[in-house]
Structure 1
């Protein structure tokens, strides 16, 4: 059965000092809260209805990753009275989640970006930057597709391949890179699990990342497009 939640990248962390979040790291700020998500979802829908189709989002560059492109602007919502307070688990309040809107023109789903994955990506990026200062190429590992590679963790001085903790399954997901050295998370494990556990109509050529969005409170941040082939999640090849 497909569960639809009324839930909800992302801020690049501005601090390299070890202070990951702007306020306290209370445990209640570190977990998704269904009630908070539902309140924000309703508030965003009301905002669009009463503001002539506009949605309360922060301004981002046009080439921003699709799941990070429409971050909710809580300041607007507070000033106009659509919310009485900012969710306690949001980044703005010291939590580990960024609230984002998926498809603001159609479904207007509110979802969460897990900023703990952002910190893990950032830590690898710091090592990559050091490597680039000494070499003219990124620390490529094994080839995955024509555009994607694993990270050569030994070149970065790491003891093992870098991973992030999945907000969907809590599994350790690999960090991969493209030809330009940009880092991504490989969500193959989560997507294959979602394909198996949920009814869907996705076919080869469709972007199946939305299967995760439809069935959880999160979005797959730092992801590449995936499709389905022979029942399995595969990276969508660039044409």
Structure 2
């Protein structure tokens, strides 16, 4: 089906520059000159070409094994050790974790048409930290630190009850302030509904079946995967999260 868009149903998030922290240290002596706060198009092209060449010659993908329970957008990390050792790449992307940067490089569509995408380590770390605080609050108080229900099964976070400041995280897609939610499971999520909605507006002719996970739009039209996200479905032309 074709996605139709109603412009007044979502407010645009405030535009802001993406804030990224660099990981200290470097696991390898050689890196390229791309920025470690973003992922350059050149880096994406180089890694894509390397994994395709490796796959064509070896018959397997140069990726780390992953547990079957891991979300598909967090699952298969590029194995730079293999690519560098066997000279499929000469230099590591400086934006990659292995090159001292702030992104994991992942492979999606591993069984059909493998494609390289990037995952923000900074966002992963911040959500993991917040998850620990939420879990500690629940263990001590016997309930989740939640306030308003914004979607069925998803609430905003009661930072005041936890005596912490709300983290100012920015969307890897729009640069706007990212809304954080807690699902019924107690899991902390970044809400990508606004980002998905903007992709729907920008690509109104893209055909997406109702049963598809709408995060597909974010991955298809950007170099990044959504970090710590729920799945999304189309309900009345709006992206709605679900666990």
* TM superposition score normalised by structure 2: 0.81
- Are the aligned partners of 2:22 and 2:100 in contact in 1 as well (CA < 8 Å)? no
Q: CA deviation at 1:22?
A: 3.4
Deviation at 1:70, TM superposition (A): 0.7
Structure 1 runs not aligned, ≥5 long? 1-18
Output the aligned Cα RMSD: 2.2
Q: Is the counterpart of residue 176 in structure 1 residue 158 in structure 2?
A: no
**For the residues of structure 1 that align with 2:152 and 2:125, how far apart are their CA atoms?**
27
Corresponding residue to 2:216 among 210, 216, 223: 210
Matching residue of 2:200: 195
Unpaired runs of 5+ residues, structure 2, are 1-20, 27-32
Out of 47, 55, 74, which is 2:54 matched to? 47
Distance of 1:106 and 1:95 partners within structure 2: 29
Structure-2 change in CA distance of 1:81 and 1:27 (3 Å): closer
2:154 is matched with which residue: 148, 152, 167?
148
Compute the displacement of 1:29 (Å). 1.4
CA distance in 2, matches of 1:35, 1:20: 20
8 A Cα contact 2:22 2:36, kept in partner: no
Higher relative contact order (CA 8 A, sep 6+): 2
Within 2, Cα distance between the matches of 1:229 and 1:113? 27
Residue 122 (structure 1) shift: 2.6
Asked if 1:98 corresponds to 2:100, the answer is no
What TM-score do you get using the length of structure 1 for normalisation? 0.82
Distance 1:42 1:177 in 2: 39
Report runs of 4+ in structure 1 exceeding 4 Å deviation.
Answer: none
Do the aligned residues in 2 keep the contact of 1:142 with 1:149 (CA within 8 Å)?
yes
Matched length: 216
Contact 1:99 1:110 in 2 (8 A): yes
